[in-house]
Amino acid sequence: MTHLFRAARQNRIFQDVVEQIQEAIIDGQLKVGDRLPAERDLKEMLQTSRSTLREALRVLEQKGLIEIKLGMGGGAVVKKVTSDLVAESLDLLIRSNQVSLKHIAEFRERVEGDVVWLATSRLTKSDIDELEKLLDDSRQCLARGVEGVPDFLTADQHIHQYFAKITGNPIYISLFKTIHNNIRRYFDELLFKEESEMRENLQDLESVVAAMKKGDADTACKIVRTHVRRFNDYMEIREQQRKAG
């Protein structure tokens, strides 16, 4: 019954407005794409002032529930809830040093294994085709040498996120999206200074896909964990080198 995050302060009218609109969205009374009435109309319905209403709209906007456009025909439109806000808040945590690279690395090491384990039993023919295609993209980036590193990292990210997609579980999907978007900056800084590392990375992923195709979930899980751990170690070493000078 603990209504998570609900400030107990009832003296703030804009909070009530936020809650009313949020509930309407979550309950489905307001659907994605629906347009809220204009501020001057909405304030009448809610019997409040425009400033108070606007403070509520700012909160809803920040929550990612609505998007506000300017000009005639503009206004507040109900947005599809995405993992963007999760990613943004994680980003805040990381930047204020509450979550370290080490925490993410540790989490990835376990969860990436879980994901390929699950994905293995749900692999379809078209998934295999897509994975092969993504692996091929990686190979082409690798062939371009150091110059191809940024694209290689992107391809790598796509493969990992595709693993999550195969599970069909939106929790894994949004989690991976968040994690990989936040970890990318470290990759850019710390990873793949040598071509051999890229090659090693690609070989790992090829082995994982091969094991998945054979239906060997445990092996796929094991390889991917080792894979993640190895690159976590690389990053840690590089980070220490950087700190040392």
Partner DNA sequence: TTATTATAAATGGTCAGACCATTCCATCAA
Partner DNA sequence: TTGATGGAATGGTCTGACCATTTATAATAA
Near a second copy in 68-87, by CB under 8 A: 70, 81-87
Binding residue for a second copy, selected from 37, 103, 132, 146, defined by CB under 8 A = 103
Q: DSSP assignment, residue 78?
A: E
First to last CA, the chain: 52
Binding residue for DNA, selected from 19, 24, 52, 93, defined by CB under 7 A = 52
54 counts as binding DNA under rule CB under 7 A: yes
Q: Which does 96 bind (CB under 5 to 8 A by kind): DNA, a second copy, none?
A: a second copy
187 counts as binding a second copy under rule CB under 8 A: no
The CB-of-120 to DNA minimum distance in angstroms stands at: 44
Q: How many residues bind DNA (CB under 7 A)?
A: 27
Contact between 58 and 21 (Cβ < 8 Å): no
Among 227, 222, 159, 236, CA closest to 191: 236
Give the nearer residue to a second copy in terms of CB position, either 49 or 203: 49
Contact between 134 and 162 (Cβ < 8 Å): yes
Distance from C-alpha of 238 to C-alpha of 160, rounded to nearest angstrom: 22
Give the nearer residue to DNA in terms of CB position, either 52 or 169: 52
Distance from C-alpha of 2 to C-alpha of 4, rounded to nearest angstrom: 6
Distance from C-alpha of 243 to C-alpha of 28, rounded to nearest angstrom: 51
Distance from C-alpha of 202 to C-alpha of 194, rounded to nearest angstrom: 13
Near a second copy in 5-64, by CB under 8 A: 5, 11, 14, 25-26, 51, 54-55, 58-59, 61-64
Q: Which stretch binds a second copy (CB under 8 A): 36-44, 96-104, 192-200, 207-215?
A: 96-104
50 counts as binding DNA under rule CB under 7 A: yes
> Could you give the count of Cα atoms lying within 13 Å of 19 in the half-sphere of its Cβ?
13
> Could you give the count of Cα atoms lying within 13 Å of 49 in the half-sphere of its Cβ?
5
Distance from C-alpha of 120 to C-alpha of 167, rounded to nearest angstrom: 8
The CB-of-77 to DNA minimum distance in angstroms stands at: 9
Q: Which stretch binds DNA (CB under 7 A): 37-45, 142-150, 153-161, 218-226?
A: 37-45
Distance from C-alpha of 47 to C-alpha of 77, rounded to nearest angstrom: 21
**Residue 31 CA to its chain's centroid (Å):** 23
Residues that bind a second copy (CB under 8 A): 2, 4-5, 11, 14, 25-26, 51, 54-55, 58-59, 61-65, 70, 81-99, 103-104, 106-107, 110-111, 114, 117-118, 169-172, 174, 181
Q: Which residues bind DNA (CB under 7 A)?
A: 11-14, 36, 38-41, 47-52, 54-55, 57, 68-76
